[in-house]
Amino acid sequence: MSNADLSEVPPRLRRDVGLLPLFMVSAGSVIGSGWLLGTLNASKVAGPAAIISWVIGVILLIGIALIYAELGSTYPISGSTARFTWIHAGTLGGFFAGTFSYLQAMAVAPIEVEATLGYVDAKLWHGLVNSSGLLTGKGLVVAIAMMFLFTAVNLFGIRWMARTNTVAMYWKILVPIITIIFIMTKVFHTSNFTAGGGFMPFGFKGVFIAIPLGVVFALEGFEQAAQLAGEARNPKRDVPLAVVGSMLMGAAIYILLQLCFTGALNPANIAHGWANPFGNAGTFGPYYTLATSVGLGWLGTVLIIDAIVSPAGTGLVYVSAASRLSYSLAKTRFVPPVFASIDRRGVPWFSIIFGGIFGCILFLPFGGWAGLVAAITAASSFMYSFAPVAAVSLRKSDPDRIRPYKAPILNIIAPFSFIVSGFIIYWSGTANVVKLDLAVAFFLILYIVARRLDPNQEPLDFRAGSFAIPWIIGLTIFSLFGGSYVNPYPAIFGIKVTHHLPFWWDLGYIAVFSLIVFYWGVNSRLGPERTLRHAEEAAADAHQEDLDLGVGHPA
């Protein structure tokens, strides 16, 4: 293509991201405020058995990571989690998958900012948050300034964002490792693992409750390499390596951090329970408190710096991810076409700015860090649940497409991962599931209005995407009437709610229900012709991005 031809091509996303920055984007999402606060929250509800929560979390999510590695390398599209379901289930299923993807991505950056300000307020600069953990006026100004910075960096382009994140990631990986080594060699009480009621003082129920209170939130983010696959230089090789590699690295670090945290606590503070592991010393900034309590003041200073760098790096990545999702939603006509506007730097400028502004709105008093994390974990799990259905459906409807990476034993991993997603949503608690239902209902109304105003919309594809409706409604019903986990509602609209299903039986019922919905989704997929057309439309976007760089494809 000549220079003259290139000047007439509208700006597109650019394939500028290599393997290392792609890996760092996923790893940067995995290592954020979760490592600073997740172990504390898990210990409060599970005691020493919180280590089991992390192991279970890894086992539950590794299958989803493998599935994303296949989908991201086969369909290298920016904002991919919003489009995999659209390819095989059409507009209705794509709407639900895209909405959950966008909700979770949009909220992560504000959560990371709140974590940073809470940590800094407790140890360095007071007056940023109040006693309830909500931002003060001064804290709100600082939070908005941080969101403005994230937005500005992303507007400079994906290459600039990825390089900035890569530099920050070396620090983000090094600090947790240094923390583990120095604290564990300084103090490690093996007796803590049976203190305060034994190794599992709250039983397996406590282990499960810990999973949505920080474990899944800390481990998630591996899919970010798939979100940016449309801007990767070699997505077929690099996306699987980045997705799976970042997941495994994060898992190893978090499991060691939980061991370090449990062993370093003062035995006197947990002798009678785990509600307040630090006694009267306060509980915000757990590793700072541990470091200073054992004479590692210099490490405490490093941790204060990291409380800014780690969450800020994750927030930076998620502003980018959210903008690619809204870009992709515009491509599938779920949001207005202005969200797909690309500037000469090759970035979706309107989506980035909108995401920054919307993120600032989320600083309003919606709850503390742990409460927000549980809600976002539920949204992420809904998003993850669509991927197993997509992987199996696309192998059946688009079997001839080259798959550079194929998830092993997909017929087992996929339904298992779908069940896992249902469990995590259920464990997130009634309040969080109901809040998500209301948010999705709001976006559904907007989508219905958009369809009325846009005569060029595709058919609704109700049959192919209808499995999402009983999936959402069914998990809400289980959450309302099943076992009592996180933040159960005693009453809904004045009607008293009684949790009828006994522990373990509730999980069995959800497993059976999940399998029914999973195979419903696979068997109701679009036919090969429609699936192929959607896949080719997505591939055409990636092809055009290569042409903008003068790369091209072989005939």
Q: How far is Cα 514 from Cα 522, in angstroms, rounded to an integer?
A: 12
What pLDDT is stored for residue 9 in this prediction?
A: 39
Asked, for residue 554, whether it belongs to a domain, the answer is no
Residue by residue, DSSP assigns 90-134 as HHHHHHHHHHHHHHHHHHHHHHHHHHHHHHHHHHTSTTSB-TTS-
Instruction: Measure CA of the first residue to CA of the last residue in the chain; give whole Å.
Output: 14
Give the containing element (helix H, strand E) for 81.
Answer: none
Q: How far is Cα 401 from Cα 32, in angstroms, rounded to an integer?
A: 36
Structure tokens at 178: 């240094």
At residue 536, the 3 state secondary structure works out as helix
Please choose, from the candidates 336, 327, 199, 322, the residue with its C-alpha nearest in 3D space to the C-alpha of residue 259. 199
Instruction: Count the neighbouring beta carbons within 10 Å of the beta carbon of residue 285.
Output: 26
Asked, for residue 521, whether it belongs to a domain, the answer is yes
Residue by residue, DSSP assigns 468-535 as HHHHHHHHHHHHHHS---SS--SEETTEE----SPTTHHHHHHHHHHHHHHHHHHHTPPPHHHHHHHH
What pLDDT is stored for residue 273 in this prediction?
A: 82
**With a threshold of 0.85, does the pTM exceed it?**
no
What CATH number is attached to the domain comprising 45? 1.20.1740.10
Q: How far is Cα 273 from Cα 197, in angstroms, rounded to an integer?
A: 7
Instruction: Count the neighbouring beta carbons within 10 Å of the beta carbon of residue 163.
Output: 17
CB 381 within 8 A of CB 104: no
Asked, for residue 400, whether it belongs to a domain, the answer is yes
Instruction: Count the neighbouring beta carbons within 10 Å of the beta carbon of residue 509.
Output: 14
CB 430 within 8 A of CB 483: no
What pLDDT is stored for residue 436 in this prediction?
A: 84
Asked, for residue 555, whether it belongs to a domain, the answer is no
Structure tokens at 158: 């994906």
What pLDDT is stored for residue 373 in this prediction?
A: 72
What pLDDT is stored for residue 302 in this prediction?
A: 87
Boundaries of domain holding 164? 3-548
Q: How far is Cα 140 from Cα 129, in angstroms, rounded to an integer?
A: 9
What pLDDT is stored for residue 498 in this prediction?
A: 59
Single-letter code of the amino acid located at 162: A
What pLDDT is stored for residue 4 in this prediction?
A: 40
What distance lies between CA 538 and its chain's CA centroid?
A: 23
What pLDDT is stored for residue 13 in this prediction?
A: 43
| Domain total of the chain | 1
Please choose, from the candidates 359, 374, 350, the residue with its C-alpha nearest in 3D space to the C-alpha of residue 318. 359
Single-letter code of the amino acid located at 527: G
CB 172 within 8 A of CB 313: yes
At residue 232, the 3 state secondary structure works out as strand
What pLDDT is stored for residue 230 in this prediction?
A: 56
Question: Mean pLDDT in runs of 10 for the chain (555 residues)?
Answer: 40 54 71 73 86 87 84 74 83 88 80 76 70 71 81 67 63 86 91 86 84 77 65 67 81 89 87 75 68 85 80 73 75 71 70 78 62 76 91 92 85 93 84 82 80 77 91 89 57 54 83 96 91 78 39 28
Distances (CA, A) of 187 to 36, 260, 296: 19, 9, 11
Q: What is the DSSP letter of 135?
A: B
CB 49 within 8 A of CB 368: no
Asked, for residue 306, whether it belongs to a domain, the answer is yes
Where do we find the tokens 């800390």?
218
Asked, for residue 230, whether it belongs to a domain, the answer is yes
What pLDDT is stored for residue 10 in this prediction?
A: 44
How would you classify the pairing of strands 495-496 and 491-492? Answer: antiparallel
Tell me the sheet residues that pair with 232: 17
What pLDDT is stored for residue 21 in this prediction?
A: 66
Instruction: Count the neighbouring beta carbons within 10 Å of the beta carbon of residue 197.
Output: 16
- CA count, 13 A, side-chain hemisphere, 163: 6
Q: How far is Cα 186 from Cα 184, in angstroms, rounded to an integer?
A: 5
Asked, for residue 52, whether it belongs to a domain, the answer is yes
Q: How far is Cα 382 from Cα 100, in angstroms, rounded to an integer?
A: 6
Single-letter code of the amino acid located at 105: A
Asked, for residue 553, whether it belongs to a domain, the answer is no
CB 290 within 8 A of CB 183: yes
